[in-house]
Amino acid sequence: MSRSVSVYDATLRDGAQAEGISFSVEDKLKITKALDDLGLGYIEAGNPGSNPKDLEFFRCVKRLAPRAKIAAFGSTRRKDAPVEEDKNALALLAADTDVVTFFGKCWDFHVTEILQASLGENLKMIRDTAAFFKRNHKEVIFDAEHFFDGYKANPDYALSCLAAAAEAGADCLALCDTNGGAFPLEIYEITQKITAAFDIPIGIHCHNDCGMAAANSVMAVEAGASQVQGTFTGFGERCGNAALSTVIPNLQIKKSMPCIPPDRLPLLTRTARLISEVANVRLNGSAPYVGRSAFAHKGGMHIDAVLKSSLSFEHIDPHRVGNARKILTSEMAGRGAVLAKIQKINPVLIKNSPETEAIIRRVKELEHEGYQFEAAEGALDIIIRKQLGRYKPLFELVNLKILGEQPYAEGQSAAAIIKIIVDGQVEITAAEGDGPVNALDKALRKALEVFYPRIADMRLTDYKVRVMDEKSGTASRVRVLIESTDGNESWTTVGVSADIVEASWIALVDSVELKLLRDIENGAEQFH
């Protein structure tokens, strides 16, 4: 039977060091719950010695009663000061977690040039800190910072740093490729030596500066490491960390090494999307396993093959990780791609049926007008429903008005007033936004929330405008693509017009209606 691997997520601390990322306490609690639901072993929650927000989180997280072990993170004691008086060490104790992770320098260069401490003093700092937390009944993980660079520069000293932590009672030694510069074979060979030298669990913590963090993490496990550290979607300082959304399925599906409960694997994609939403960053569409394009097919021959046998162009069944196959509709995809979309809505239709032919004609007409469906699968869904008679408008626009269409100075905003009818009931509402499209989006969703409360889950995540005929200048037709999400799914719709606001409105309405139609079909949405 294959050995299991402990997964240690550092999104809330290492991930928060990424440019543009800032978590509130509530954000951190949402992510903690999602990671805990996934069944991870450890969740590193922050450094209580660095800011009051993390201390508040450690107080609040107890009400979640997570099954995962919550780890507080900090450093060794400062040089030339007793650990019992070290503010950082005392803050780690105050966090009241079962697990404490602390880092210490393992590269002699860092010890002498950055810490400006003697090599001997650094060993005492590591030893004293580990022993202090063990005396206080903590599970102790030692993050051996810059370990691989340190080992290559001075292997004896790097090993002595690990030995200092182990002799003082550390429960796990995590080898850190802090600069992200090591190669897979280096990671494997060095980790193999360490796992042979110590009889306590060895962990791996890789950064992605050479684009190999996930591969390096897998190689370390192959060499005997039993704990993998990373951030769930890979974001972190500089180029990020090992993406656990990649490492977990690589180990569990490909190498038969259990990382999370097997029934939780289908939660991988949803968890990645939720974390990206909370962090307010777009999940990389090409992310392995969990990205929107991870199982997307565009070429006609590829589509034909994958529809006959998924093994032809998919290395796993996408449903195993909670993702789904995408058949992209484009000039390269052929009739089979459109048929695959049609059969998702009506499985009994065949290739040469009158309904199929009518849909294909309509798609071609719209493409001639400038519509493009490869990147707007949601819009194609609406078109197919309309052609099959499976579409009923969920609201009627009576009137809309946009105010302040002049160029917007900093701090100024546009406003939109919308009047709609739903099932005979009238709703009039207004909203401000950063420009007319944002104002329209807010006003429409605000009006619809009266009738469809779950529309509050939806938000616009991307907005693209392309001028289709630059020679026509300001009279050119434009194509607007709007990407939306409800935290679980994301979808894109398209609108085309000579008027940018009208094109945006077409795409926006399709986006909103697709959300509502799917919720109603799933039994999740009812009239208020």
Give residue for tokens 């206080």: 136
Terminal Cα-to-Cα distance of the chain (whole angstroms): 53
Q: How far apart are CA 240 and CA 178, in angstroms?
A: 11
* Alpha-carbon gap, residue 63 to 426, rounded angstroms: 43
Q: What is the pLDDT of residues 428-456, one digit of tens each?
A: 999 988 888 888 888 998 999 999 998 88
Q: Please, is 283 exposed, middle or buried when counting C-beta atoms within 10 Å of its C-beta (0-12, 13-18, 19+)? A: buried
Please give the pLDDT value at position 244.
98
Q: Tell me if 195 sits within 8 A of 3, measured CB to CB.
A: no
Q: How confident is the model at residue 331 (pLDDT cuts 50, 70, 90)?
A: very low
The CATH number of domain 6-279, selected from 3.90.1150.10, 3.30.43.10, 3.40.50.620, 3.20.20.70? 3.20.20.70
CB atoms closer than 10 angstroms to residue 516:
19
Alpha-carbon separation of residue 465 from 246, 443, 448 (angstroms) = 32, 21, 25
**Matching CATH number, 396-521, of 3.30.56.10, 3.30.160.270, 3.90.25.10, 3.40.50.10710:** 3.30.160.270
Of the two residues 366 and 29, the one the predictor is more confident about is 29
Let me know if the fold of 6-279 is the same as that of 396-521.
Answer: no
Three-class DSSP labels, 247-290: HHHHHHHHCCCCCCCHHHHHHHHHHHHHHHHHHCCCCCCCCCCC
Residue pair 68/35 in contact by the 8 Å Cβ criterion: yes
pTM above 0.85, yes or no: no
Confidence of residue 117 (pLDDT cuts 50, 70, 90): very high
133, two tokens? 């937390």
Task: Give tens-digit pLDDT for 53-79.
Answer: 888 899 999 999 999 999 999 999 999
Catalogue the long-range contacts made by 503-509 (C-beta closer than 8 Å, 24 or more residues apart): 503/465, 503/478, 503/479, 504/436, 504/437, 504/440, 504/463, 504/480, 505/400, 505/440, 506/480, 507/376, 507/379, 507/480, 507/481, 507/482, 508/437, 508/440, 508/441, 508/444, 508/460, 508/482, 509/397, 509/444
What integer is the mean pLDDT of 405-419? 69
- At residue 333, the pLDDT reads 47
Distance CA 290, CA 318 (A): 9
Q: What is the dihedral of CA 196, 198, 199, 200, to 10 degrees?
A: -120
Phi-psi region for residue 359, left (φ > 0), alpha (ψ -120 to 50) or beta?
Answer: alpha
| Percentage above 90 pLDDT, the chain | 54
307, pLDDT greater than 80: no
Instruction: Round to whole Å and give the CA distance between 479 and 74.
Output: 50
Question: Would you list the domain boundaries of the chain?
Answer: 6-279, 296-387, 396-521
Work out the average pLDDT over 273-299: 87
User: Which range, 35-44, 286-295, 369-378, 460-469, has the best average confidence (pLDDT)?
Assistant: 35-44
- Express each pLDDT in 193-236 by its tens digit: 999 999 999 999 999 999 999 999 999 999 999 999 999 999 99
Q: Mean pLDDT highest for which of 47-51, 157-161, 506-510, 522-526?
A: 157-161
Of all helices (H) and strands (E), which one includes residue 357? helix 354-369
Phi/psi of residue 181, nearest 5 degrees: -105, 0
